Amino acid sequence: METLRPILAEHPFFQNLEEHHLELIVGCASNVRFDAGDFVFRHGEQANQFYLIREGMVSLEMFVTGRGPVKVQTIGEGDILGWSWLVPPYRWMFDAHATELTRAVALDGKCLRNKSEQDHDLGYQLLKRFATVVQENLDAARLQILNIYEVSA
Amino acid sequence: MTPVFYRVLRTRQETRDTFTLDLEPPAGTEVLRFSPGQFNMLYAFGVGEVPISVSGDPGRTRSLIHTIREVGAVTHAMRKLKRGDPLGVRGPFGNSWPVEEGFDRDVVIVAGGIGLAPLRPSLYSILTHREKYGRVVLLYGTRTPDDILFRKELESWRAHLDLSVHVTVDRAMASWRGSVGAVTSIIPRARFDSSSALVMICGPEAMMRFTVLELQNHGVGLDQIYVSTERNMKCAIGFCGHCQLGPTFVCKDGPIFRYDRIQPFFEIREI
């Protein structure tokens, strides 16, 4: 039976994982598809997945009263979407919706949390990789709020 | 060196605070020739003089084009110029983008905000000799969709099959269909040979520093990267010292430097 193993094995996020860890992760993976306009998740919902975007684009947004939905980040091909599944209380902080047809691999966060509790080496590998994702996103967010393109007289 | 009196041929509002002036030379004279990345000292009569990079096509000989952000008294006066008004021009000054070093290599152009203007001539030059280059990638970041410079031209470049254009903004409302995020976030989406690509960057210094770090993460060497620096240029010929940056004068030795040669000074505050 064809599995998502080759796709995950080739992705930089899963590079250099031990074989049995990759197998555990493949067991928690499934293919998903979102049409343009579909919500991947909504603010406040339970966060029990993360996504490896294979194709398309997802917009992270927050609804601001008086302004409507404000886009804070877009996530595209090859990117990792979502880390709230890792941190209690496991709730999404933003809305995420596909701005175009998007195909992704969904990783079941509950499944991975359970496996990580049983195998701390797996948990460490996942946390190490997500720390990089979080750091990259934090750096980018800080750069965005610096408003560096503004020039004072 | 005294200014030559050009006249405004056309003005164009590009964004809320940025405009473009097309200037024609005095009757019977040629438009001055320039290389991509060079700048002129533009003099608004009775107000003052400022260094502005040429943003037009080096191959175009009918008029001289500058794109200017309105940030002070001089540029405010320039913003008010109308067709036929005079403007003093001294130049061109400074060195140029090393576009010919990109022959047979991939070329990556990274622009932030108004930084697209000094890079546009290099893109014109590359497109004129497109067959001499490998992949050509333009990465452009700015504040909001309303601040996108040369929007129609970007759309036209994006339609080229042999040019890869990625645009991102720092923030946007839901109606924006493009990318949102720092300019560094679109670097991983670009396809180029990081071990040999020529990279040219122009934008705010913070943006350039972050961009260089991200490029390094993707295997680009510092000797492959060129940046355009901006300092307080006054005389433009290396006499007055206002634009000194370490052992160099930005107006004369720059404004474009290979990053590994400027790095120690680039990372010092208030130099």
Q: Which of B163, B157, B108, B158 is nearest to B131 (CA)?
A: B163
Interval B194-243: pLDDT, tens: 999 999 999 998 899 999 999 999 999 999 999 998 777 777 777 777 77
| Closest chain A residue by Cα to residue B210 | A143
Q: Is the bond leading into B36 cis (omega within 30 degrees of zero)?
A: no
- pTM for the whole structure: 0.89
Say if B240 is an interface residue toward chain A (CB within 8 Å).
Answer: no
Most A CBs within 10 A among B52, B143, B185, hence the mutation to make, goes to B185
| Closest chain A residue by Cα to residue B112 | A149
Beta bridge partner(s), residue A68: A64
| Mean per-residue pLDDT of chain B | 91
Say if B184 is an interface residue toward chain A (CB within 8 Å).
Answer: yes
Interface of A with B in 5-44 (CB under 8 A): none
Q: Minimal Cα–Cα distance from A1 to chain B, Å?
A: 32
In the structure, what pLDDT confidence band is assigned to residue A153 with cuts at 50, 70 and 90? very low
Report which of residues B94 and B240 the model is more confident about.
B94
* Cβ <8 Å between B210 and A59: no
* Cβ <8 Å between B210 and A144: no
* Cβ <8 Å between B189 and A57: no
User: Does the pLDDT at position A69 exceed 50?
Assistant: yes
Sheet holding B172-173, edge to edge: A39-41, A95-98, A57-64, A68-76, B172-173
Q: What is the rounded CA–CA span in Å between residue B222 and residue B245?
A: 19
| Mean per-residue pLDDT of chain A | 92
Say if B231 is an interface residue toward chain A (CB within 8 Å).
Answer: no
Q: What is the rounded CA–CA span in Å between residue A130 and residue A122?
A: 12
User: Does the pLDDT at position B268 exceed 80?
Assistant: no
Residue B111 near residue B147, CB atoms below 8 Å: no
* Cβ <8 Å between B180 and A67: no
Residue B98 near residue B226, CB atoms below 8 Å: yes
Helix A109-118 to helix A120-145 angle (10° resolution) is 130
* Cβ <8 Å between A143 and B143: no
Interval A10-47: pLDDT, tens: 999 999 999 999 999 999 999 999 999 999 999 999 99
For B148, half-sphere exposure in the C-beta direction (CA atoms, 13 angstrom radius) is: 22
| Stretch B167-176: mean pLDDT | 91
| Stretch B88-117: mean pLDDT | 95
Q: Minimal Cα–Cα distance from A88 to chain B, Å?
A: 26
pLDDT of residue B4: 93
pLDDT of residue B252: 77
